[in-house]
Every structure is written in structure tokens, then in C-alpha cells.
């Protein structure tokens, strides 16, 4: 990996926000999921959570490679997803037009936050609404009372980014060094990453020059065929 690429990856990792995430509930349109992940990358979301019967294929022209920089964690049901998020002390919000909903700009996004976005046609399920801590809405004055889900996601994420920037949360690295090392290797050495995954080898350490810092034994295992491992 070149020094320039190493510096660029290090810079964006230093601004990743693991305490901000989305939970996609039964979204099925590839262009929507791709656009959402692209927005997540743009504001520094580290990982997106998802509940779906069948994972949509990313639209390369829409995602623009962002799917390689934002992890996706899948859950079997929305209740499991919310339970997982709450074990991380996250406030769980859901986009839902209800009497109890508040303007999305009234939320304090400097707190650990997860936002549930419901399926394109029907919105969030009753189970998602029941499991969330707060309903939020994006105020509108037109005839139509909903936005495209990817547009809604971008609006909410950029409000979260605005608040977090004002609070200085992008000035201090929030990711652990272990998490940074994983993404440095995956993003800096994609072909070697494929070999490690195929052979079940541990990822190597990346030094401050962007080089793999491992001994001859690791390289030998990389070069051996699967039959000889």
C-alpha cells in the first residue's frame, strides 16, 4: 500500500463514528440500500445493521465503492437488532409518523444513536415501533407525507453529523486500533485479504508506513496451497 493511500485511510478512520448507526428493516430496493450506505460513508458511519429476508445487491454505480468501507451486520429479526443496539447503550429511534413523533432535529445525536428506517412502501413495522425509544419525523408541508427512504436517511445523518462536528466528536478517534488495523488491511491489500479469508489466516499488522509487519512464517502460509496448510 502506498504512503498516500495509507494516510488517506488513516484519516477517514480517525473520523469514523461507531456510536452512530442505521438499522434497515426489510428494505429491498438495491438503489435505496446503495444510496444509504453511500451517505453512511460520507458522514463516518462505521457499521450499518439490517434485517431482511434477502440481502439486496449493491448498485455499484450508486454506492460508488462505499459498501467496501461500511460494514453491514445482519440480524434475524428487528427485536434481535434492537436488543443488540441497546447493549451498546444506544438510543434507538424510528422514522414513524405518529402522535408521539418529534422533529428529527430535536434529537441529541451526540448520544450513541441508532435510527431504524422501515421498508420502502409500508415503513417501519409495529414491532420496530414498539422496540424503539422514540418516533421521529421529518416535517413536510406538501401533499405527500413521506420522502424516499434514502433521502430521509441522508437528512437525518447530516443533522447528526452537524451536531457531532459542533461537539468536536470528529476531532478524536473513536475506533479502536484493532478495528483500524482490520480496515487498513482490507482496504489496503484486497487480494491478500481474499487469501487470508480463504485460508482462515489471521490478518497481519500494518505499520506506520502502510506496510505489512509480519515475519517469514506468515508469508509462507500465504504462499502455501490450501492442501499444505
201 is in an annotated binding site: no
Q: What is the DSSP-derived secondary structure letter of residue 203?
A: P
Find, among 104, 165, 117, the residue nearest to 21 by Cα: 117
Find, among 116, 89, 113, the residue nearest to 164 by Cα: 113
21 is in an annotated binding site: no
Other CB atoms within a 10 A radius of the CB of residue 127 amount to 14
Q: CA–CA separation, 210 vs 212, rounded Å?
A: 7
Q: CA–CA separation, 183 vs 199, rounded Å?
A: 19
CA–CA distance from 58 to each of 16, 29, 41, 120 (Å)? Answer: 22, 9, 14, 16
CB 85 within 8 A of CB 124: no
End-to-end CA distance of the chain: 26
Q: Which residues are annotated as a binding site for S-adenosyl-L-methionine?
A: 95, 138, 147
Binding residues: 95, 138, 147
Amino acid at each position: 500500500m502506498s504512503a498516500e493511500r495509507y494516510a488517506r485511510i488513516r484519516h477517514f478512520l480517525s473520523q469514523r463514528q461507531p456510536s452512530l448507526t442505521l438499522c434497515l428493516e426489510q428494505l429491498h430496493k438495491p438503489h435505496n440500500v446503495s444510496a444509504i450506505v453511500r451517505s453512511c460513508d460520507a458522514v463516518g458511519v462505521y457499521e450499518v445493521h439490517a434485517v431482511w429476508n434477502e440481502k439486496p445487491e449493491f448498485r455499484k454505480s450508486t454506492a460508488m465503492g462505499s459498501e467496501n468501507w461500511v460494514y453491514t451486520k445482519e440480524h434475524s429479526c428487528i427485536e434481535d437488532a434492537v436488543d443488540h443496539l441497546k447493549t451498546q447503550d444506544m438510543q434507538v429511534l424510528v422514522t414513524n409518523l405518529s402522535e408521539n413523533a418529534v422533529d428529527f432535529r430535536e434529537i441529541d445525536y451526540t448520544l450513541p444513536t441508532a435510527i431504524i428506517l422501515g421498508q420502502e412502501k409500508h415503513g417501519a413495522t409495529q414491532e420496530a415501533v414498539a422496540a424503539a425509544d422514540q418516533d421521529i419525523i421529518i416535517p413536510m408541508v406538501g401533499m405527500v407525507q413521506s420522502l424516499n427512504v434514502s433521502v430521509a436517511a441522508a437528512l437525518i445523518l447530516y443533522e447528526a453529523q452537524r451536531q457531532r462536528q459542533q461537539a468536536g466528536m470528529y476531532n478524536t478517534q473513536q475506533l479502536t486500533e484493532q478495528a483500524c488495523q482490520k480496515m487498513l488491511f482490507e482496504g489496503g491489500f484486497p487480494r491478500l485479504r481474499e487469501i487470508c479469508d480463504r485460508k482462515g489466516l489471521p490478518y497481519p499488522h500494518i505499520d506506520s508506513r502502510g506496510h505489512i509487519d509480519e515475519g517469514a512464517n506468515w508469508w509462507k502460509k500465504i504462499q502455501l496451497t490450501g492442501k499444505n496448510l
